[in-house]
A and B are shown apart, each in its own frame.
Chain A
Amino acid sequence: MIKKLKSHEAILVTLLIAEFLFFNATGRRFATIDNLFNIVRHSVEIGLLALVMTPIILTGGIDLSIGSTLGLCAILFGKLWRDAGLPPWAAAIGAILVGGACGLLNGALITQLRLPPLIVTLGTFSLFRGLAEAITRGVDAFTNFPESFLFLGSGQILGVPTQAWILLAVAILIWLIVHRTVLGRSFRAIGFSSEGARYAGLPVERRILFCYVLAGLVAGIASLTYTARLGTAKADAGYGYELLAITAVVLGGTSIFGGIGSVHGAMLGVAALAVLNNGLTRVPAVMNIASELSGVLTGALLLSALALGTLPKHLAAWRARRHISLH
């Protein structure tokens, strides 16, 4: 198992290098510091979401609603600041707490009512986005945030984009949780066998709830960097981000069935997607269709990663069948 993971990361790093070389050759002003910062700025939200999607998928669950949570948090941030008159830092805390509440709703329905994560988060995907649209009456957008806030999205600390530090901090935190604490160990156990985990005395429901609440809180944080980067909070913030997060996580070697996976793999997956996305906008030939092309390639990448993920299982089954028929 350890060998497999290492090879997965090797493939990803190779992919990254290949992307880099390709876009360097075909793209205009791809390999500049400015562009690198650009890539980083644009990948923070996906990075944050992929980070918290990893524990959820490790436990064998899924969260289709984090993009919508991001949108709702962004809107509420704007509302708290503009209409309720709160200072940005207070509104930010409010937004993050709302995210946590969203995660709590998901987690409660999943653990207390034993409903499948799939359909619950499909419902909240709609509900949260719908609430965002309702609050903004479909048209409202929050702008003109103070410089102190926008610094989050466009400023630099120590020569590195501000939000990168946030991503780094959250990444370290999640990495530590997943790879160095008993919580992370329990996520894997639950993903492999929730019954086995229960019989070992692990508090299965509590751990699953934790994953979803954490996802909500971090989605709240992501809503802040998103708003700060764009300078606007609109109801469609984060639309489609759940797919990107899931793709990054699966690309990074996390099994969709649970138990196997890594946070650093997910980060490599995010990097691969971010570079792809950005690189396409730099290649003159495809510049004007960059976003669509990026979407197509992302979907195709996810399918390939999924299919390749099942390859070992099918190879083994095929070998076993041949063995039986030969004897």
Chain B
Amino acid sequence: MKRHFRELSVLAALLLMLLVLALFTPNFYEPQPLLSRLTAAAPKLILACGAALIIISRQIDISIGSLFAVCGTCAGLLAAAKIPFAFAIAAAIGIGAIGGAINGALVAGLGLPSIVVTLATMVTLREALRLAQQGVFINLPEGAQWFGLAMKPGQSFICAVALAVLVVLAFATKHLAAGRFIYAVGSDAEAARLAGIRPRAITFAVFVLMGALAGLAAVLNMAQSPQVDPNSGRGLELEAIAAAVVGGVAVSGGRGKLWGVLIGLLLLVCIGPALTYAGVKPYWEKAIQGAIILLAVVADGLRSSARKGLFD
């Protein structure tokens, strides 16, 4: 019980939030809008899982949003060119993995701080995308949206995929040696090295995985509308990091649970409608997001002993 204290307290906050919503804005629970909301959040869940793994390994990746946009655009272009959809999906994931590999090579291979590397790749990718696409929306062919299904089954499918990714990753981080190595490296890279684990290889792999997940998330996002917006994904990295941090992932590395990330994300998703009910206008969203990240980090910082963080 004590070990899960952090995650359970977020769960309590979420349940409280759901209760508040049930009492004051019961139309939050109307099936169709709720499903739509969850579907819109599904790609974010995937990104948050990836971000969580990155943070657990004691790194950070703020290029997630740009990778997302690049992968989505590529998949959209391929689909619009009448290339089989399955191939477009694979390409998106592959391109994401390549982007992640670039980050990983610079961080793990050259020992550069991940914040500056991913800051650079974030801008480079986004501007390259702007260059290539000029902000032109891509019209997807018939049958691309909702993966060719009707809206409701399509939405359910997307949510299911996101949950499946969560389940697979949660399983891997708990039951596969590789998953545990991520925690080991994030907790103490030197002890990991002494125990025969290769920290640099693990770090590289986590970045590649993050990239692939960004590609998958982009595909799930793409399937939700008839067009691909090449300007999408702005600020997604912060949402992902916020969900992870709120969900109990520590910036000092080595701790955090993926199911906690799910709760963190749901909590953040619920805050929107809750604030709307409370009369808080939507333009407060970014400020509140920043405040939430700070609060979560301060709370964790106060609780744990002085432990060196990512950039010291």
Known: A116-B309, A299-B120. 4 other contacts (CB 8 A): A114-B306, A122-B241, A138-B282, A296-B124
Q: Are B297 and A115 neighbours in the complex by a CB distance under 8 Å? A: yes
B15 to chain A, nearest CB (A): 25
Instruction: Verify if B34 is at the interface (C-beta below 8 Å from A).
Output: no
Task: Select one of B117, B126, B301 contacting A115, CB under 8 A.
Answer: B301
Tell me if B130 is interfacial: C-beta within 8 Å of chain A.
yes
Bound state CA distance, A186 and B62, in angstroms? Answer: 31
Cβ distance B104 to chain A, nearest Cβ, rounded Å: 13
Stretch at the interface among B73-81, B84-92, B105-113: B105-113
Known contacts A296-B127, A307-B106, A310-B111; A123 and B294 CB within 8 A of each other: yes
* Chain A interface, DSSP helix/strand/loop, else mixed: helix
B20 close to chain A: CB less than 8 A:
no
Q: How many pairs of residues, A versus B, come closer than 8 Å at their CB atoms? A: 163
Given contacts A122-B241, A292-B127, is CB(A130)–CB(B311) below 8 Å? no
Task: Spot the interface stretch: B155-163, B215-223, B284-292.
Answer: B284-292
Q: Which residue of A lies closest to B126 (CB)?
A: A295
Number of A interface residues in the complex (CB < 8 A): 53
Q: Across the interface, do A130 and B310 meet the contact criterion of CB distance under 8 Å?
A: no
* Closest residue of A by beta carbon distance from B237: A122
Nearest CB in chain A: distance from B202 CB, A: 20
- Of residues 88 through 136 on chain B, the ones whose CB sits less than 8 Å from some CB of chain A are 106, 110-113, 115-117, 119-128, 130-131, 134
A80 within 8 Å of B (CB atoms): no
B60 within 8 A of A: yes
| A90 CB-CB contact with B under 8 Å | no
**Residues B301 and A134 in contact, CB atoms below 8 Å apart:** no
| A302/B283 in contact, CB under 8 A | no
- Chain A positions 118 through 153: 1 when the CB is less than 8 Å from some CB of chain B, otherwise 0: 111011111111110110111000000000000000
Q: Is B195 an interface residue (CB 8 A)?
A: no
Inter-subunit contact B120/A119 (CB<8 Å): no
Question: Are B112 and A307 interface neighbours, CB within 8 A?
Answer: yes
* Chain A residues with CB below 8 A from B113, complex form: 256-257
Cβ-defined contact, B283 with A295, below 8 A: no
Q: Name the one of A127, A300, A306, A313 contacting B116, with C-beta atoms under 8 angstroms.
A: A306
The reply on B177 being an interface residue by CB < 8 A is no
Contact status A115-B298, CB under 8 Å? yes
When chains A and B are docked, how far (Å) is the Cα of A60 from the Cα of B287? Answer: 27
B245 / chain A contacts, CB cutoff of 8 Å: 119
A137 & B302 in contact (Cβ 8 Å cutoff): no
For A221, what are the chain B residues with a Cβ–Cβ distance below 8 Å?
none
Interface membership of B175, Cβ < 8 A: no
Once bound together, how far apart are the Cα atoms of A196 and B114, in whole Å? 26
Does A114 lie within 8 Å of B301, measured CB to CB? yes
The reply to whether B298 and A131 form a contact with Cβ atoms under 8 Å apart is no
A261-319 contacts to B, CB under 8 A, are 289, 291-296, 298-300, 302-303, 306-307, 310, 313-314
Is B30 an interface residue, CB under 8 A from the partner?
no
A259 within 8 A of B: no
Rounded to whole Å, the gap between the CB of A108 and the closest CB of chain B is 11
**Which residues on the B side are within 8 Å of A292 (C-beta)?**
127-128, 130-131
